[in-house]
Amino acid sequence: MFDGWCAAQGVDPLELPIDRLCNLTYWFLVRNADEKRRAEIDARLEDVPAGEDLEGVESAWSAEAEMAAFTQASRAASSAAT
């Protein structure tokens, strides 16, 4: 379904940067979910896989990581505009 939807929208998921592919995949997962189902999906995505130790690993959702991503996107947009 995901690939068919992408094809219908003119999107090649294999051409997207990984962060954009993840965002699109997440949107596709939750687009019709009610609040309870979305919370369940979010909880599963935030779960640490069994046997993984993420202590000391910076979260992709930290304020610092989000600001770094925003800064990178802003620079890329500025470069593309010139």
Q: Record the pTM.
A: 0.56
Q: Which of 18, 27, 19 is nearest to 66 (CA)?
A: 19
Could you read off the pLDDT of 19-51 as tens digits, one per residue? 899 999 999 999 999 999 999 999 888 877 777
Amino acid at 72: Q
> What are the CA-CA distances from residue 76 to residues 9, 57, 72, 79 (Å)?
24, 26, 6, 5
Three-state DSSP at 61 gives coil
Residue type, 12: D
- Going from N- to C-terminal start, the domains of the chain cover 1-46
- pLDDT mean across residues, the chain: 83
